[in-house]
Amino acid sequence: MNRFIAGAGGMMLLMTAGFFVWMGAQSQDVSLPDAPPPPQIFDTQSEQVLPIADETDMQDGPAPPAPPKAYRASREEKRFNRYDRDRDEIITRLELMSSRTKAFKKLDVDGNNLLTFEEWAKATSDRFAGADKNGNGQLTRAEFRTTRPKRKTPKCKC
């Protein structure tokens, strides 16, 4: 019970302090300083102040706009764009799975667009047999390392 009363008292003190700070900040009249005058340009030969030209004083019109900066896509945007084949900013299931069709067709030996367990098991066992260099039916760490997918070498961005 004492903790409850102490907590309520502390809360009331904090609220009172906040109220006084808020009222004090409202009563202060802070004005912003005026903008500084524009810089003056001196002519070094005649030692006179030259007027600053406005855009209306220019004969050729306003200065051309600065060229836009090139946008650099992030890693996730590049990944998204790889799957978004029709560039409509939406990835459909077909677009997402299209990158896997080449691998699927390699596993689908009979070409019926269905991957049976036998087809998958044959491909897996062939991969295992290819990695098992000494043919003992077991993969060492060095043999297992050869089963990882090959990394694609980055294309030259020359």
Q: What is the mean pLDDT of each run of 10 residues along the chain (158 residues)?
A: 88 85 68 65 60 54 71 82 84 80 84 86 87 87 80 70
- Contact between 45 and 52 (Cβ < 8 Å): no
- The predicted structure's pLDDT at residue 49: 59
pTM of the predicted protein model: 0.36
Q: Are residues 97 and 121 in the same domain?
A: no
Q: Are residues 117 and 96 in the same domain?
A: no
Domain count for the chain: 2
Q: Give the dihedral sign, CA 91/94/95/100.
A: positive
Q: Are residues 134 and 113 in the same domain?
A: yes
Tokens describing residue 143: 């043999």
Residue 98 lies in a domain: yes
- Contact between 146 and 131 (Cβ < 8 Å): yes
- The predicted structure's pLDDT at residue 25: 63
Residue 15 lies in a domain: no
Distance separating alpha carbons of residues 4 and 67, to the nearest angstrom: 65
- The predicted structure's pLDDT at residue 51: 57
Domain interval for residue 132: 108-148
- Contact between 144 and 134 (Cβ < 8 Å): no
- CA R_g for the chain: 37
